[in-house]
Copies of this chain bind each other. A is one copy, B any other.
Amino acid sequence: MYTQFELMRELSIATPSKIVLLVIDGLGGIPDISGKTELETAHTPNMDKLAAEGICGLLQTAGAGITPGSAPGHLGLFGYDPLDYRIGRGVLEALGINFPLMPGDIAARGNFCTIDAAGLITDRRAGRISTEENRKRCLLLDGLEFNGVKTIVKAVTGHRFVAVFRGDGLSAELGDTDPQQLGTPPKKVPVLAPEATYTADIVNRFLSEARERLSAHPPANMILLRGFSKKPVFPSFADIYKLKSAAIASYPMYRGLAKVVGMSILETGPNLEDELATLKKHFADFDFFFMHVKDADAAGEDGDFMRKVSAIEKVDKILPQIMELNPDVLAITGDHSTPATMAGHSWHPVPCLLYSKWCRPDRLAEFSEFTCRQGSLGQIPAASLMPQLMAHALKLTKYGA
């Protein structure tokens, strides 16, 4: 039985046609007391027109009822089944600060925590110290060496940091040192496979050293590590789809996710206008653009329904400028739903719109969660979107004679 990647590899051809995948992070919602979702509330004449002329559907990332994080959310949109293709939490944290992981590096997500005189955890987040305090402490742990294995420790925000172990023969088959409860000591790192014994020894020596060095710096006087992982090697976008692809994203984590599948990363600014300018500037140079817009998700996470509505409206306003570039395919969707009423990611399937002159139009009245349910894309795994984008860009040859 053929996998989707095998089929794409066999059928895909490089052509000059252009695909724009516009990801409005957290796009999907559920109604608030008004009875309407954020997308239904937003005034989006441009999206509505495309919904009438294109095709629509609902995307599920990791199956019905499953709430995806940002990594599986995006991997799904890129065509990678997120249940098969996983990225560890340590690696994700490293991607998020644009840290250049090398092959063989083991990355872990770190938290500063507080321990008492007996060594028992009294606060798993060290009183949520400031990023500045965080940075100072990271300097105490950065650049140590154990048996030739170097530790690289970089602050993220608040109490969070990334710890990278760089050296030969390391394994990521390690459990978390965070016991997930107070009143117990941080765990020694659990060994999940025999080949990780050596790495565990290094990590445990690092943890001892860290405890010593941090002892004079409460409340952040100890660390907890989790999500030990290596940068995964995925089949590349170029290999599977023969696409020359580029990512336009103002947040490092999304650039990192795009890099994992082999996209070129384009320099851009913090705003939607910056991203649009980047798209215009490089439109001739690539045939696939992943453009990531963060604001709707941020508003949803904050539980701010109306701010999410305006974030969506802002995207709608720039659509004519994207359409002027005359992409062969424009898809608008999200990596997951973030209903403002839930103030977080959710499992609700994500509305998706695909416009191309080769569509058999769905003739829907508007772009919304409700109308998408009647669209001809159907309710499909997010990873099934890529073949549709490829088909509508005429980048797939016929299967069989």
Contact = CB atoms under 8 A, between A and B. Distances in A.
Interface in A294-331: none
Nearest to A58: B376
Given A363-B370, A376-B373, A387-B66, A401 B7 contact: no
Interface centre among A1, A62, A362, A397, by most B CB within 10 Å?
A62
Given A396-B347, A399-B67, A84 B391 contact: no
Interface stretch (A68-76, A113-121, A128-136, A175-183): A68-76
A63 B3 CA distance: 11
Given A387-B66, A398-B68, A83 B379 contact: no
A9 to B, nearest CB: 13
A176 to B, nearest CB: 13
B360 A348 contact: yes
B401 A67 contact: no
A345 interface: yes
A58 B57 CA distance: 15
Residue among A65, A345, A347, A378 having the largest count of chain B Cβ atoms under 10 Å: A65
A65 B390 contact: yes
Interface in A200-250: 227
Contacts of A392: 65
Interface string A365-401: 0000110011011111000100111111000111111
Nearest to A361: B31
Contacts of A61: 399
A360 B379 CA distance: 14
11 contacts: A11-B66, A61-B399, A64-B384, A64-B388, A67-B399, A69-B398, A69-B400, A92-B401, A342-B358, A347-B391, A373-B374
Interface of A: 1-2, 4, 7, 11, 28-31, 37, 58, 61-72, 82-84, 86-87, 89, 92, 227, 342, 345-349, 358-363, 369-370, 373-374, 376-380, 384, 387-392, 396-401
